[in-house]
């Protein structure tokens, strides 16, 4: 089948794999060791830290490598909570955050923190004014994702940052979906903490990072060693980190050309589908969204049945890969006020650098045929 699920994960780029292999068999030392094997591994981790920092306009010492974006999100929320958990015990998140943010936020609420969930509009956008109204004297942290993993809507992080900065409140953004697809610069965005996921832009699974602006109060949430500036206990996954660095460098070199290529493919797919299927509806913002993401509702059918019918032609998903086995209406669509009937027919189609115009044409034909079959049952 044609792979149209790049928001779930991406294949490892050949350059990334090539860079990783020596660190699995030849340069296999522990970066904490002081002998030559260890020093080579430590130097490779340092180089990757510089490459990842360069992708987002950060300084190398502000990058903490983690095992994934979920861990980075947990470190951001719980680490700030541990550091500031005295007088300030109020947290603000948007209603469409990934479970990797929502779950630690709920955990803090169970620990006695106050949690405010800010609603979004029908496009899935968070209003900076709504964030401003949610802030209190005891607000420690605001967390709003940079781009939504399901509908692709890009949030006004810079405007939100101006509000939080004026009030002396920390701002975290989960940029797992945006990095590598659109420009992500921590200085421009004005954030204090930012999450990255390697496997979302052609690095291996099992590596992520948390950007922590210098002097931002964060404490460790794992124990046993003092790796990663004392913020992440455990031996570094050197091969994955090396690959992550190369993937970050490739992403930096290929933007914005890659973004326009993705947008052309996405719009080609949307055009073919909307031309052939009356009543097909776009979910998410028509302009302020990721260039590779097309989230649409097919009329009169179940999205799951449609994808099952088309599974021999197209590999796509209903929404977040992290909870797609649960056949429930998307919390993101519910927060956007999308009707249950429209939400039931929703499908997320996400293209990538390996997608071709021919694949898009064949995928559209396959989805159209599957829609006609399922709609006639």
Give catalytic residue positions.
Answer: 322
Q: To which residue do tokens 């979906």 refer?
A: 177
Angle CA(48)–CA(52)–CA(54) in degrees, nearest 5? 115
Token pair belonging to 316: 């796509």
With beta carbons less than 8 A apart as the criterion, state whether 98 and 320 touch: yes
Pairing of strands 314-315, 2-3: parallel
Q: Which helix (H) or strand (E) holds 143?
A: strand 139-143
Token pair belonging to 304: 């799951």
With beta carbons less than 8 A apart as the criterion, state whether 182 and 263 touch: no
Q: Which of 329, 268, 322, 279 is nearest to 303 (CA)?
A: 329
Q: CB-based burial of residue 36 (10 Å sphere; 0-12 exposed, 13-18 middle, 19+ buried)? A: exposed
With beta carbons less than 8 A apart as the criterion, state whether 340 and 329 touch: yes
Q: Which residues pair with 172 in a beta bridge?
A: 143, 193
What secondary structure does DSSP assign to 277-341, as a single string? STT-EE-S-SSSB-TTEEEEE-TTS-HHHHHHHTTTTEE-BSS-GGGTTS-S--HHHHHTT--HH
3-state secondary structure of 354: coil
212-247 burial code (b ≥16 CB/10 A, e <16)? bbeebebebbbeeeebbeebbeeebbbbbbbbbbbb
Angle CA(124)–CA(157)–CA(350) in degrees, nearest 5? 50
With beta carbons less than 8 A apart as the criterion, state whether 262 and 352 touch: yes
Query: Left if phi > 0, otherwise alpha if psi is -120 to 50, otherwise beta: which for 63?
Result: beta
Pairing of strands 281-282, 293-297: antiparallel
């Amino acid at each position: 089948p044609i792979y149209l699920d790049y928001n779930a994960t991406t294949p490892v780029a050949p350059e990334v794999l090539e860079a990783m292999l020596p660190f699995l068999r030849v340069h296999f030392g522990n970066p904490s060791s002081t002998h030559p094997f260890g020093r080579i591994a430590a130097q490779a981790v340092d180089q990757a830290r510089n490459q990842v920092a360069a992708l987002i306009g950060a300084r190398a010492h502000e990058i903490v490598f983690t095992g994934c974006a979920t861990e980075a999100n947990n470190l951001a929320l719980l680490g700030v909570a541990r550091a500031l958990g005295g007088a300030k015990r109020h947290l603000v998140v948007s209603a469409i955050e990934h479970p990797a943010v929502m779950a630690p936020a709920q955990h803090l609420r169970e620990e006695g923190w106050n949690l405010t969930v800010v609603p979004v509009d029908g496009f899935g956008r968070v209003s900076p004014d709504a964030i401003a109204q949610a802030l209190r004297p005891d607000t420690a942290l605001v967390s709003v994702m940079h781009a939504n993993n399901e509908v692709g809507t890009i949030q006004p992080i810079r405007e939100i940052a101006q509000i939080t900065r004026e009030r002396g409140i920390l701002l975290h953004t989960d940029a797992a979906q945006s990095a590598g697809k659109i420009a992500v610069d921590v200085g421009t965005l004005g954030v204090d903490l930012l999450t990255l996921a390697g496997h979302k832009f052609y690095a291996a699974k099992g590596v992520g990072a948390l950007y922590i602006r210098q002097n931002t109060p964060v404490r460790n949430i794992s124990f046993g060693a003092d790796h990663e500036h004392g913020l992440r206990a455990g031996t570094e996954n050197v091969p994955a980190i090396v690959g992550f660095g190369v993937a970050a460098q490739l992403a930096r070199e290929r933007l914005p050309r890659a973004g326009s290529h993705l947008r052309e493919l996405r719009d080609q797919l949307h055009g073919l589908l909307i031309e052939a299927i009356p009543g097909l509806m776009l979910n998410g913002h028509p302009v302020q969204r990721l260039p590779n993401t097309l989230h649409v509702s097919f009329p009169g059918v179940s999205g799951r049945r449609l994808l099952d019918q088309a599974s021999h032609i197209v590999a796509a998903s209903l929404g977040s890969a992290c909870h797609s086995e649960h056949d429930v209406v998307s919390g993101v669509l519910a927060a956007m006020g999308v009707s249950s009937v429209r939400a039931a027919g929703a499908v997320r189609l996400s293209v990538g650098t390996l997608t071709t115009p021919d694949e898009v044409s064949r995928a559209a034909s396959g989805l159209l045929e599957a829609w006609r079959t399922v709609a006639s049952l």
